[in-house]
Structure 1
Amino acid sequence: MTADTTLAYDYPLLGVFWSMLWVFLWVIWIFLLVRIIVDIFRDDTMNGWGKGGWLIFVLVLPFLGVFVYLLARGKGMGKREAQHALAQKRELDSYIRETAGAGKSSEVEELARLSEIKARGDLTEEEFQRAKEKILH
C-alpha cells in the first residue's frame, strides 16, 4: 500500500453525517426552487412582466430571491396549490361521470329499441327476455 491510499475506515462517522446533511439540504433546496418556479407560472393574478421579473430574480440571486418570494408571496402558494388540486379533482370527477354515464345511456337506448321492436310484434316475449338479459349482463 502507498501512503496516498484512503480506506473506508479513514472517513469518520461525523464526516459521513455531515456529507449526508449537505446532500439532504441540497435536495430540499432544489425541490423548493422548483416549487417556487412552478408557483410563479401557476399564479393567474400576475402579469407576464411580473412573472418574468420574479423568475429572473429567483434564478439570478437564488437564495435571496427564494427568501424574498417566500416572504412576499408564500401565503398565496398554499392557496394556489389547494385551488390547483381542487380543479384537478373536479376534472377527474367530471371525466368519471361522463365515462360512467356513457355506458348507462347506451344500455337504456338499447332497451328502448328492444321494447319498440317487441311492441311492433317482431319479437316474442321469450326473445325479448333473452335479449334484455344480454344487454343487462
Structure 2
Amino acid sequence: MRFFDDTVEYHGFWGSFGDLIWWFFTVFIFFAYLMALFSVIGDLFRDRKLNGWWKALWIIFLIFVPFLTLLVYLIARGPGMAERNAAQVKKSQEAADDYIREVAGTSPADEIAKAKSLLDAGTITPAEYESLKAKALS
C-alpha cells in the first residue's frame, strides 16, 4: 500500500517562493485587520456622543459579522473617528507639554532676576538675596 504519490514532490514550507510570498501577504492582511478592529473598538469607547446601546450593537455586529461591520463602520464613522483621534492626540500633547513646563521650572537666571526685583522692591534683605542667588546657582 502506497501512502504518497511518487509524482508529487513535497518541498516543505520554504519550498516555493510563491507560497512564502502568499504566507507573508496573508499574515500582513491579518495584522492589518486586527489593527483596524482594535482601532474601531477603541473609537467606540472613546466616542461620548454615542450611547451605550449603539455601542453594544456595534460590538455585537463586530463579533458576528466582523469584516462587513468593520468596513461599514470605517465608511460611516471614519471622519468622526479621525476627529476624535486628533482631539485625543492634542489633549495628550498638551498634557505632556504642561508636565514638561512644570518639571522644568525656571532657569537660574530667571530665579536671580526675580530675587533682584524683590531686593529692589525692598521685600527681601541683601543677605536673603545673596542666599537666593547662591541657591539658584547651585
The question of 1:56 aligning with 2:64 is answered no
How high is the TM-score relative to the length of structure 2? 0.72
Structure 1 residues without counterparts, runs of 5 or longer: none
Do the aligned residues in 1 keep the contact of 2:40 with 2:70 (CA within 8 Å)? yes
Equivalent residue, structure 1, for 2:135: 135
Q: Deviations over 1:16-61 (max 9, x none)?
A: 1111111111111111111111111111110111111111111221
Identity %: 32
Equivalent residue, structure 2, for 1:80: 84
CA gap of 1:133–1:16, structure 2 versus 1, over 3 A, is same
- Aligned-pair distance for 1:75? 1.5
CA gap of 1:62–1:52, structure 2 versus 1, over 3 A, is same
CA gap of 1:95–1:128, structure 2 versus 1, over 3 A, is closer
Structure 2 residues without counterparts, runs of 5 or longer: none
Distance (whole Å) between structure 2 residues aligned to residue 98 and residue 9 of structure 1: 56
How high is the TM-score relative to the length of structure 1? 0.72
The question of 1:116 aligning with 2:124 is answered yes
Question: Which residue identity lines up with residue 98 of structure 1 in the other structure?
Answer: E
2:49 is paired with a residue whose SS is coil
Distance (whole Å) between structure 1 residues aligned to residue 63 and residue 35 of structure 2: 14
